[in-house]
Amino acid sequence: MTNRASLHRATIVATLAFAASALFSGCLTTTTDGGMAAPVSYDTVHMRLDFNRQVRTVVIQLDEHAAPQTVANFKKLLRERYYDGLAFHRAIPSYLVQTGDPLTRDDANRDSWGTGGPGYTIPSETVKRHKRGTVAMARLGNAVNTSKASNGSQFFICLDDIPSLDGEYSAFGDVIQGIEILDEMAALPTDTNDIPKRRVEIVSMAITRPDAVVAKPRESDRPKRKDTQPDSEKGIFERSIERFW
């Protein structure tokens, strides 16, 4: 009985080990000589938005060559599901839309939207140009940020070519599908701080395979929040100093 039980346990262990090995190897690539290479690191991101009572998807291609530190930080936040539940807090037609402020999780913080972050900055990486669809990190202005360090989480997406931003902000990706959704967002009514009066929220944001199918628009499965209300008007000086652009 003892030998038979030991043999049974050994068989189970061997089977589990084989299954784990097969699962892990599925995340690896093979070299030309048949050896195992490093795990695949994808650079495609699906950003699913709760917009106009539908979940719609914007696809972003990260550019690690242009901004390796910025991309590495962005991927870390994606793995932590940091962006899920955040709202877009800036929308300017034919210019840009912006999100990534953790304060936007709560509509009660509306007066402070655009001032938050993860508590750290990222060194400037200003190689990439700002074209329509370019994704770049927001930052404080040169008056208080001479090193042009980026906010740790806030990012914006250009809705037009904006050469005046070249060399000023860390651009690290491009929208490759769904930019028309962002154009629609930018056309929404906003308050005096360019915050959409109708909440546009990130349902989920995650790294995906390049060939991943983009989900068709569907009714949101999340409870619909009330439209956010405009805050009191703030002066241009206060807006430029406090908020990350």
The model's pLDDT over 39-70, given as tens digits with 9 standing for 90+, comes to 557 899 999 999 888 999 999 999 999 999 99
Provide the residue ranges of all domains of the chain, joining segments of one domain with +.
Answer: 42-242
Q: Which CATH superfamily is domain 42-242 in?
A: Cyclophilin-like (2.40.100.10)
Token pair for residue 209?
Answer: 């395979």
Residue with tokens 């093979």: 30
The H-assigned helical ranges of 137-223 are 179-186
Q: What is the pLDDT of residue 244?
A: 63
pLDDT in tens, 66-93: 999 999 999 999 999 999 999 999 999 9
pLDDT of residue 212: 87
Mean pLDDT value of segment 17-24: 39
Of the candidates 218, 210, 219, the one whose C-alpha atom is nearest the C-alpha of residue 59 is 210
* Whole-number pLDDT of residue 89: 98
> In whole numbers, what is the pLDDT of the chain averaged over residues?
82
Give me 8's structure tokens.
């049974």
Is residue 232 predicted with pLDDT exceeding 50?
Answer: no
Contact 179, 159 (CB under 8 A): yes
Give the pLDDT confidence of 128-185 residue by residue, as tens digits. 999 999 999 999 999 999 999 999 999 999 999 999 999 999 999 999 999 999 999 9
Please answer whether residues 207 and 75 qualify as being in contact, where contact means their C-beta atoms are separated by less than 8 angstroms: yes
Say how far apart CA 12 and CA 27 lie, in whole Å.
Answer: 24
Contacts by residues 218-226 (CB-CB < 8 Å, ≥ 24 positions apart): 218/54, 218/55, 219/53, 219/54, 219/55, 220/50, 220/53, 220/54, 220/55, 221/55, 222/50, 222/55, 224/50, 224/53, 225/107, 225/199, 225/201, 226/107, 226/199
User: Rounded to whole angstroms, what are the CA distances from 190 to 55, 196, 228, 244?
Assistant: 21, 4, 10, 18
Lowest mean pLDDT among 22-36, 214-228, 230-244: 22-36
Residue percentage of the chain with pLDDT more than 90: 66
